Homo-oligomer: A and B are copies of this chain.
Amino acid sequence: MSQHLQRAIDNLKKMILMVGTVVEESLRDSIHAFLKRDEKLARGIIAKDTEIDQMEVEVEEECLKILALHQPVAIDLRYIVSVLKINNDLERIGDLAANIAERVCYLGNKHYIYIPDTIPQMAKSVQEMLKLSLDALVKSDIDLAEKAFSADDYVDKLHSDMFPFVQEKIETEPEKIPEWLQLLSISRYLERAADHCTNIAEDVIYMVDGKIVRHSQMIENE
């Protein structure tokens, strides 16, 4: 690999990890904003989403520039294509954090509802999945990537459990139907964020050994 290409790839790595860091923050803050009903924090997350969108566009442009200028092959080509896709998944996780923040703003001073442990448990798992998949990307480490998506089934299960829970709550506290429906939305956002983390981990595996491991779980559970 030419020195120029090596430098371009190193720079791209820095850029994508910066997106990862900002998205990690947004996700963490969005959960916090929801659990604490912190509208101010929520508004900050929504504002930051524009920044993430801009970062995504810049990473994509950088990938295209490298493809055009350096015409990489083999593992370098896979690296660029993987970054293109990981970039997209990170941006989507950013959107989901913004979606959670929007729910916080919508809830405002509406009824407070009981938040089951499932939500912080899901949040914790998703944050771990994101951290592991980003670590896997930094270290090009397949074991870390596999660890990252091993929690996806657990998150799916927790999300499925929310349906009967919400159903029961709606029956016993029908005056809070909009709030319960919002809780279901939050759970779904977390479950989708876990899906995107899985995509990232799968792309890291593809990047490292060229093996496509997608579609092991075909249909999302929501």
- Measured CB to CB, the residues of A under 8 A from B are 46, 49-50, 53, 56-57, 60-61, 63-64, 67-68, 71, 73-74, 77-78, 81, 84-85, 88, 95, 98-99, 102, 163, 166-167, 170-171, 174, 177-178, 181, 184-185, 188, 212, 214-215, 218-220, 222
Residues of B near A174 (CB, < 8 A) are: 170-171, 174
How far does the Cβ of A73 sit from chain B's closest Cβ, in whole Å? 5
Copies of the chain in the assembly? 2
Cα–Cα distance between A218 and B50 once the two chains are bound (Å): 7
Q: Is the interface of A mostly helix, strand, loop or mixed?
A: helix
Give chain B residues whose Cβ lies under 8 Å from the Cβ of A170. 170, 174, 177
Question: Can you sample 30 A-B contacts with CB below 8 Å?
Answer: A49-B218, A49-B219, A50-B215, A53-B215, A53-B218, A56-B214, A56-B215, A57-B214, A60-B212, A61-B212, A63-B81, A64-B77, A64-B78, A64-B81, A67-B77, A67-B81, A68-B73, A81-B84, A84-B84, A95-B219, A98-B219, A99-B222, A163-B178, A166-B181, A167-B177, A167-B178, A167-B181, A170-B170, A181-B184, A185-B222
A102 partner residues in chain B, CB cutoff 8 A = 219
Q: Whose C-beta in chain B lies nearest to the C-beta of A67?
A: B77
Contacts A53-B214, A64-B77 supplied; 20 other A-B pairs, CB < 8 Å: A50-B215, A61-B212, A63-B81, A64-B78, A64-B81, A68-B73, A81-B84, A84-B85, A88-B88, A95-B219, A95-B220, A98-B218, A98-B219, A102-B219, A163-B178, A166-B181, A167-B181, A171-B174, A171-B177, A181-B184
**Residue of B at shortest CB range from A199?**
B88
**Which residues of the partner chain B approach A67 to less than 8 Å between Cβ atoms?**
67, 77, 81
Smallest CB-CB A-B distances: 7 pairs: A71-B71, A53-B215, A98-B219, A167-B177, A68-B73, A57-B212, A68-B77
What residue of chain B has the Cβ atom nearest to residue A85's Cβ?
Answer: B88
B178 touches A46 (CB 8 A): no
Q: Are B85 and A74 interface neighbours, CB within 8 A?
A: no
What residues of chain B lie closer than 8 Å to A185, measured between beta carbons? 222
Docked Cα-Cα span, A64 to B67, in Å, equals 11
* Residues of B close to A167: CB separation below 8 A: 177-178, 181
